[in-house]
Chains A and B, each alone.
Chain A
């Protein structure tokens, strides 16, 4: 089967590098290389975060300029003369050619979430170097490639979803396995994210009050948009953000008042509230809670990330964490168990390669792409930005005192409940922090305790409050910034929980609809309630377990979340590779096949270890055996305190182990089915059936990148004279 013809020759006109641009790119490469050099070679001394920024930004620039361009032109052969679905099917609503800069913002807001803020913080237990290398290398060769290639293929298929593409191009079997995998992964994702905020909010009246206030604020915004002034999103978002800031300040007052006890909730109570909230939020109309909350969290997300970037650059904090800690090789770290390979990759997940992005890159975004040439900026560019968010999270975790880092991130079973026991335990881990320093750190941010606040969010908030208070307000505002950061993270985790429960419910209704028809109707209330209850019950179960697990919920569940996310990435990369092969791009299939091979190696190794490892800290079934033997012998094994704890551990390890095995099997099925289809396409090229939408000539003239090139400006001017629709500024 012939390789697709190269797109118009005009695209290659600017292929030659001028001496000036060679000089500029050599300089960029040098900045990046020096950054990496300092990061890698410093041992024992504290270095500035500026070096990490230089290494990351230099690498991103080179990768974007050269690698993403190579993928766009040589591999995908994006065709600027080919009309996108947005242009062909323009209905003024969901299919609509959208300005590239706007769509970049949309896409970034949709893909960026709590994941890249949590993963790097946890990975920092192995030092900043392993995590940073993977965040940067992973995004360049895997994460951004996955997002961009998925976006391209979905755009060529009228914005079909990953599941549909898998069914159309691989087959019903692989497609069904992919669908079930997506559903299960969603459940684990929601549970772990909910666990992150439960851990951050437990026994924190300030945090609980502020977050609780987001519900009335969102309801007010919902009514405003529905009844008072429909569609005025900017003004209502500004009002909402102002109320939100007020809620954070008021949280401080509440924490000091007689109301404090009312808002001081244990983790177990918070779980119940989360489950109730999750259920209500998913059955209430979208306009009431989800839509306004979404506006609010997007505003906060983009705003805070921008502020953080400025803060990091202005403050240029010093990193106190070691480049590589001993846990990297020993694999017995308290935050998560397992050695650097594969668990650093599993833990970082979203900041480097996130399977979930393939659901956004196939679905909403491709229906709005104005020009195929813009896929590079939107798909690859937005993922580089998300990776930069992960780098900032890594910085926040590494600038706080390592002793404090381990006291915050180790489960209670390891460090005990008092500052004295924690100080002792941290010393045993090889770091130092005095009980007084621990108490002072909690007092600085006006929390009763910071011990075992696992899940990443509190650590991130501590680092962020350090950075912000050094720029604005000094130590006096530390508590405000800490709770601002907690609120910011909790807000969009709650939005994801809400939106994710709905998506899960929808998928479940769709699947059950095969058995009982009315289930598929979204207007059939009993079906909606039943499916919502199942989804909420499923993630609620893992959340409950995570909070009550004597071994520490994050410690047990986060690897499962990472494996799930990375396995979804394997599905997306397998679909992309199959499509490259089937569409006659066999020569270039390595672009997604190599990251697929790496990702499959990492995740299947991690699954293998989680299932079969002899180390009870790593292997779920070995862990089960150890505790079951304990029960049989009538002994209680620490950190379990009672026989009930022992039974909890046995149940949890069994469930987690079975789930790990199930994930691995589903993914092997998808990859094997994809390999079969690829083999068939290579052996019998004439049998290949592609469900690509046929070529239609594009009428729109629009630049590919952020800044129009000289040729593009000339084309835009010519188009303006001829009154052809353009993607130029509307002003």
Chain B
């Protein structure tokens, strides 16, 4: 592997990790999941998905609770 591609690889991994950790990739997972389960249903738009996600936290605030 060349050093340039090593750097690219490392940056890609960091980007992947940050996106996963912050939940930025949650939508991608959701779309992949919906398509895999039933290819005929159209997944929610990103906007609608993110809304439903925060609204779910509204309904049960125990999800995502932080500790002392």
Within residues 553 to 574 of chain A, which ones have a CB less than 8 A from any CB in chain B? 565
Chain B stretch 14-29: residues in CB contact (< 8 A) with chain A = 16-24, 26-27, 29
Q: Which residues of A contact B16 (CB under 8 A)?
A: 729-731
Cβ of A291 under 8 Å from chain B: yes
Q: A231 at interface (Cβ–Cβ under 8 A)?
A: yes
Q: Give the nearest-CB partner of B32 in chain A.
A: A92
Chain A residues with CB below 8 A from B51, complex form: 226, 230, 287
Question: B33 to A503, Cβ gap below 8 A?
Answer: no
Binds B, one of A62-70, A100-108, A197-205, A212-220: A100-108
Question: What residues on A are CB-neighbors of B59 within 8 Å?
Answer: 522
Q: Tell whether, in the assembled complex, residue B67 and residue A232 are in contact, meaning their CB atoms are under 8 Å apart.
A: no
Distance, CA A505 to CA B63, complexed state (A): 14
**What are the residues of chain B within 8 A of A295 when measuring CB–CB?**
22
B21 near A102: Cβ-Cβ < 8 Å: yes
Instruction: Check A111–B24 contact: CB distance below 8 A.
Output: no
Say whether B34 contacts A233, CB under 8 Å.
Answer: no
**Assembled-state Cα–Cα distance A505/B65 (Å):** 13
| Interface size in chain A (residues, C-beta < 8 A) | 61
Distance between A563 CB and nearest chain B CB, rounded to angstroms: 14
- Total B residues in contact with A, Cβ cutoff 8 Å: 40
Candidates B9, B18, B26, B63; contact of A363 at CB < 8 Å: B63
Please state if B68 and A93 are interface contacts (CB–CB under 8 Å): no
Interface contact B64-A499, CB-CB below 8 Å: yes
With contact pairs A294-B66, A492-B66, A499-B66 given, residues A106 and B21 touching in the complex (Cβ less than 8 Å): yes
Q: Does A247 contact B (CB under 8 A)?
A: no
Please pick, from A233, A350, A496, A731, the residue contacting B66 in the complex, using a CB distance under 8 A. A496
Task: Indicate with 1 or 0, residue by residue over A262-303, a CB within 8 angstroms of chain B CB atoms.
Answer: 000000000000000000000001110011001101100000
With A102-B17, A230-B46 given, is the CB distance from A161 to B30 under 8 Å? no
- In contact, B24 and A92 (Cβ under 8 angstroms): no
A233→B24 contact, CB < 8 A: yes
B47 at the interface (CB under 8 A from A): yes
User: Residue on A with the closest CB to B61?
Assistant: A502
Contacting pair B50 A113 (CB below 8 A): no
Residues of chain A within 8 A (CB-CB) of B68 are 113-115, 189, 193, 350, 354, 356, 496, 565
Complex CA distance for A506 and B58, rounded to whole angstroms = 10
* A225 interface residue (CB < 8 Å to B): yes
The distance from the CB of B44 to the nearest CB of chain A, in whole angstroms, is 11
Contact A102 B20 (CB under 8 A): yes
Chain B residues near A297 (CB, 8 Å)?
66
Interface of B is mostly: helix
Q: Does A96 contact B (CB under 8 A)?
A: yes
Q: Which of B12, B23, B24, B57 contacts A731 (CB 8 A)?
A: B12
Interface of A is mostly: helix
Query: When the two chains form their complex, are residues A231 and B65 in contact, meaning their CB atoms are under 8 A apart?
Result: no
| Chain A residues, CB < 8 A from B67 | 110-113, 115, 350, 354, 356-357, 359-360, 496
The answer to whether B62 and A503 have CB atoms under 8 Å apart is: yes
* B68 to chain A: closest residue by CB: A115
| B contact residues around A237 at 8 Å (CB) | 22
Out of B23, B33, B56, B66, name the residue touching A113 (CB < 8 Å): B66
Contact B24 A286 (CB under 8 A): no
Asked if B42 is at the interface of the complex by the 8 Å CB criterion, the answer is no
Contact of A231 among B17, B27, B62, B63 (CB under 8 A): B27
Complex: A505 Cα to B59 Cα, angstroms: 12
Asked if A503 and B12 make an inter-chain contact with CB atoms under 8 angstroms apart, the answer reads: no
Q: Which residues of A contact B55 (CB under 8 A)?
A: 286
At the interface, yes or no: A94 with Cβ under 8 Å from chain B?
yes
Q: Which residue of A lies closest to B57 (CB)?
A: A286
Complex Cα distance, B50 from A729, in Å, reads: 25
Contacts of A502 in B (CB 8 A): 61
- For chain A residues 68-111, which have a beta carbon within 8 Å of chain B? 90-94, 96, 98-99, 101-102, 105-106, 109-111
With beta carbons under 8 angstroms apart, the residue of B9, B20, B53, B66 that contacts A99 is: B20
Q: Are B26 and A93 in contact, with the CB atoms below 8 A?
A: yes
Least CB distance from A236 to B in Å reads 9
Question: What are the residues of chain A within 8 A of B49 when measuring CB–CB?
Answer: 230-231
Q: A93-B53, A110-B66, A500-B65 are in contact. Are A231 and B24 (CB under 8 A)?
A: yes
When distances are taken between beta carbons in the complex, the residues of chain A under 8 Å from B9 are 731
Q: Does A423 contact B (CB under 8 A)?
A: no
Residues of B within 8 A of A (CB): 9, 12-13, 16-24, 26-27, 29-30, 32-34, 46-47, 49-51, 53-68
A sample of 21 cross-chain residue pairs with beta-carbon separation below 8 angstroms, ordered by A number, consists of: A92-B33, A92-B34, A96-B33, A102-B21, A109-B21, A110-B66, A111-B67, A114-B68, A189-B68, A231-B26, A234-B19, A285-B58, A286-B55, A291-B57, A356-B67, A359-B62, A360-B67, A500-B65, A502-B61, A505-B61, A729-B13
| Seed contacts A101-B17, A105-B21, A234-B24; 14 additional CB < 8 Å A-B pairs | A92-B33, A93-B26, A94-B63, A99-B20, A105-B17, A115-B67, A234-B19, A234-B22, A285-B58, A286-B61, A359-B62, A359-B65, A363-B62, A506-B62
